[in-house]
Amino acid sequence: MSQPDTISPDVYPVLRYSDGRSAIDWLIRAFGFGSHFEVAAANDDVGHAVLALGRGMVMLAGSGEPDPVNPWSMERGGVYVVVDDIDAHYDRALAAGAQIVMPLADTEYGSRQYSARDLQGHLWSFGTYRPRGATSAILRGGI
């Protein structure tokens, strides 16, 4: 069995803010998060960020142009889950009648993932993407 302080997270809350930069600054100041990873968006806001606190992490982004092909571009919050055998997971979700809103596909950043809505319409994504250095950040108790 792994030691609790060496386990990296597999479940990440995902949040979208109208002003990602201000949200990151406030989350750091108010709640003690550390900035783990950030990518700028074309509109000078935050395209993707990962904040760490203790053994947990949260992903977030700022505002952007709505993209009808990508439900995450219009969603205020959801959940991302790392899955080892993503193809089998996708087949299981399909067999259970999950509402797939983004089919299983490979991304330009090296993940294989899909998105679905649960029974109440909440957005979930499952994939192989793990934030860079997630394990090391957790070993240090966040950044």
Q: What is the pLDDT of residues 25-65, one digit of tens each?
A: 999 998 899 998 888 887 888 988 999 988 889 999 888 77
The predicted structure's pLDDT at residue 68: 84
38 pairs with which residues across the strands?
A: 49
Percent of the residues in the chain that have a pLDDT greater than 90, as a whole number = 48
* Entry pTM: 0.76
61 pairs with which residues across the strands?
A: 16
d(CA 91, CA 107): 19
Nearest 10 degrees: Cα torsion 125, 128, 134, 138: 70
d(CA 86, CA 135): 20
The verdict on domain 4-139 having CATH code 3.40.50.1860 is: no
53 pairs with which residues across the strands?
A: 56
